[in-house]
Amino acid sequence: MTIPKTTSELFTKTFQSVKVPALGFGTFQLKGDICRQAVTEALEIGYRHVDTARMYQNETEVGRGILESSVDRSDIFITSKIGREHLDAEGVLREAQNSLAELQTDYLDLLLIHWPNPAFPLSTTLETMRKLKEKGMVRHLGVSNFPSALLKEAVELAPIFCNQVEYHPLLGQEALLAVAGEHDLMFTAYSPLAQGEVVKHPVLEAIGANHGKSGNQVGLRWLLEQPQVVAIPRSSKPEHIRQNFEVFDFALSEDDKEKIAKLPKEFRQINPGFAPKWD
Ligand SMILES: NC(=O)c1ccc[n+]([C@@H]2O[C@H](COP(=O)([O-])OP(=O)(O)OC[C@H]3O[C@@H](n4cnc5c(N)ncnc54)[C@H](OP(=O)(O)O)[C@@H]3O)[C@@H](O)[C@H]2O)c1
């Protein structure tokens, strides 16, 4: 990707000639009216990228939240994900159709395999997803929770645009970042606040104090300052949704980045029994 030169350029990033709003809104565990209102609120604040999944069982509310906002569908980058039990050809088609119906949209900007599942041949899943792209139901294809060997396999099989994995100042992802750089993939950092741990981290708070910012703003800024990375923080609260968005008006110093680099990097929040062997 083109390395952004100024702070405001971080607002969107370009991968494979596709422009994407770099700070998205996550919706895991948001349900009902809270979800609908949070999505509307995020869009009114300025977010232009929304992340959901079949598994979150909230696409109806996410879709309503988008419709109730003042933002045009064409200005929003919407990602959804197919669950790991539905990766056969029929499942992929059915789940993608369900996503479109519930989100009340004609296309997804990005469709991901939510988790790898060795019970389904990757080539079949990706070939079916490619057909969805040809039909215009999906603009870009990607994967999530793919370790580097499997990601490299996927890149050989289909036009992969993105890998979405856990990433924040307390977890290292060097191997996956290298693959993303090599193939100009969007590297989406999920749980970018380590589900709240980043918010109260003393080192991040101390760095933030020098900039008039909070620890979570420092953590998000650190992610966005890395060329391949986009981040999708989630919040149910308007003041947090706004605070997480206010990361475009400052920059980290080399000294700040060195301090963050020195933090222990093994704090993984999302690790279900079916997770692959991580890098
Ligand atoms: N592909 C995958 O397998 C996968 C897995 C996990 C997540 N994701 C995606 O990534 C998104 C983000 O990850 P996440 O939801 O796991 O966690 P996260 O964004 O790292 O953290 C969310 C938590 O931080 C709190 N928070 C947010 N902003 C805050 C602020 N400014 N001050 C204080 N607390 C704040 C939220 O509470 P409040 O609601 O109280 O603000 C919530 O408890 C998800 O929503 C989902 O879209 C994908």
Ligand 1 centroid to 56 CA: how many Å? Answer: 13
Q: Is the CB of 27 under 6 A from ligand 1?
A: yes
Whether CATH 3.30.70.1400 fits 19-261: no
CA 131 to ligand 1 center in whole angstroms: 32
- Looking from the CA of residue 192, the nearest atom of ligand 1 is 20
Which run of H or E residues covers position 164? strand 160-166
List active site positions: 56
Residue 29 φ/ψ, nearest 5 degrees: 70, 0
pLDDT of residue 3: 46
Q: For residue 275, which phi and psi values (nearest 5 degrees)?
A: -65, 150
| Residue 111 and residue 96 in contact, taking contact as beta carbons nearer than 8 Å | yes
Measure the CA–CA gap between 87 and 213, rounded to whole angstroms.
42
Distance CA 151, CA 142 (A): 10
Going by alpha carbons, the residue nearest to atom 47 of ligand 1 is 26
Helices marked H in the chain — which ranges? 32-45, 59-67, 89-103, 122-134, 148-157, 174-183, 202-209, 215-224, 238-245, 254-261
The pLDDT tens digits along the chain (279 residues) read 444 445 567 999 999 999 999 999 999 999 999 999 999 999 999 999 999 999 999 999 999 999 999 999 999 999 999 999 999 999 999 999 999 999 999 999 999 999 999 999 999 999 999 999 999 999 999 999 999 999 999 999 999 999 999 999 999 999 999 999 999 999 999 999 999 999 989 999 999 999 999 999 999 999 999 999 999 999 999 999 999 999 999 999 999 999 999 999 999 999 999 999 999
